[in-house]
Amino acid sequence: MPNIELLEKSMPVAPIRIAALAGCRELAEEVDRKLVKFRKELVERKNVSVIPQGYSESSFLVDCECPRFGTGEGKGYIKESVRGTDLYIMVDITNYSLTYTVCGHENHMSPDNHYQDLKRIISAATGKAHRINVIMPFLYEGRQHRRSKRESLDCALALRELSEMGVSNIITFDAHDPRVQNSIPLNGFDNFFPTYQFLKALVKNVPDFKVDNDHLMIISPDEGAMSRAVYFSNILGVDMGMFYKRRDYSTIVNGKNPIVAHEFLGDSVEGKDVVIIDDMISSGESMLDVAKQIKERHANRVFICTTYGLFTDGLAKFDEYYKKGWIDKVITTNLNYRPSDLMDKPYYVEANMSKYLASIIDIINHDVSVEKVRSSNDKIMDLMKKVNAK
């Protein structure tokens, strides 16, 4: 178990309970299994006859739901006591597969619906939990994180609202811009990255994957992903390049300025494997254009690594690019809902985050520093030694 030495010297703040909203149950069940395993290992290691109440359980999941009335109105319902617990509420705001009925019409759940259900479960806890933590991997309205014109500041407003409802910690992954936490300066806001899980998935699923400056290069598809690419290239000791988007700011299509062209800055990619890293695939249009341009520059293999695979325009374009040889692998995490047909695609690889998330919950429950789990440097270096040894 990771960080076991740190945890055996500390005590939990309260018994853990995990309340997973409907769109996040599959991930929550995986996390729960890992957490149960962690706690059993820790109890065996401590070798004590008396352990804190609720510390080691067969499951930490709480039965909860958000039923709807015929008008579409909903309510939150927690079916067991959470008094005095360290409550972790898990929500996936991107899960559009869930539906509800409004006056006989079927509606798909939107991020707004999931966010309202989150507030309903917080309200259902009625202030009895010792501490409330929200695990929201894809940060609600995280793409609307700043104001440049007469625009709403949706993400900041949502964080303020959760703070005022009594949420102590907000846990997210690869926030579009983590500086949005400045809206709640007195509350806990932890932003984690799946760098190690990406690398582990690449090593496991790509034959002859070599990590050195002669065989690998990291690419940022735009300016916003630069910090991710810089970290990845520095920790691996390889070169990086970047594309920047030239947009037509005179027009707006689907709420954004259309991209005119992608311009490349960096050394030659000829003959090298290339990893394109970003926080999300939305429609995938710009990511695929970058992959095509890299292939046209005679790169060897192209791997796309993003935390969230949303695929808002479907998978047909990815199928086409894979058949043409412009992409080799697409790696995303299991932190958000993905369409079922994606799992069978020959180019798709999942970076499983359940163990990492269970470790984060365990660390926060013991109220010790999260830096041990935030930094993956040591694990990445160990993995690199194994790769180079082969």
Buried b (16+ CB within 10 A) or exposed e, 60-92: bbbebbbeeeeeeebebebeeebeebbbbbbbb
Read off the pLDDT of each residue in 342-363 and give the average, rounded to a whole number. 94
Residues 61/24, Cβ–Cβ less than 8 Å: no
pLDDT range class, residue 381, cuts 50, 70, 90 = confident
Residue 249's Cβ-count burial label (10 Å; 0-12, 13-18, 19+) is exposed
Instruction: Report the C-alpha dihedral over residues 370, 135, 308, 21, rounded to 10 degrees.
Output: 160
Q: What is the pLDDT of residues 202-261, one digit of tens each?
A: 989 988 888 888 889 999 888 777 888 888 888 888 888 888 766 666 677 666 666 666
End-to-end CA distance of the chain: 25
DSSP label at residue 374: H
**Average model confidence (pLDDT) across the chain:** 88
The whole-model pTM stands at 0.91
361: nearest Cα among 83, 169, 151: 169
Residues 74/35, Cβ–Cβ less than 8 Å: no
Residues 287/318, Cβ–Cβ less than 8 Å: no
Distance CA 158, CA 141 (A): 8
Strand partners for 243: 264
Q: What is the pLDDT of residues 174-207, one digit of tens each?
A: 998 889 999 999 999 999 999 899 999 998 998 8
Distance CA 257, CA 247 (A): 6
CA distances from 98 to 19, 117, 133 (A): 18, 13, 24
Residues 314/281, Cβ–Cβ less than 8 Å: no
Q: Would you state the pLDDT for residue 275?
A: 93
Structure-block tokens of residue 240: 């990086």
Least confident of 27-41, 45-59, 127-141, 347-361: 45-59
Q: Would you state the pLDDT for residue 259?
A: 65
State the maximum Cα–Cα separation within the chain, in Å, rounded to a whole number. Answer: 70
Q: Would you state the pLDDT for residue 262?
A: 67
Q: How many CB atoms lie within 10 A of CB 304?
A: 28
Strands (E), 36-166: 61-62, 64-65, 77-78, 86-90, 99-102, 105-108, 131-135
Strand partners for 331: 305, 349
Q: What is the pLDDT of residues 17-67, one digit of tens each?
A: 999 999 999 999 999 999 999 888 888 877 666 677 888 889 999 999 999
Classify strands 239-247 and 259-265 as parallel, antiparallel or unpaired.
antiparallel
Evaluate if residue 330 carries a pLDDT over 90: yes
Amino acid (one-letter) located at 322: Y
Helices then strands (H, E): number in the chain?
A: 11, 17
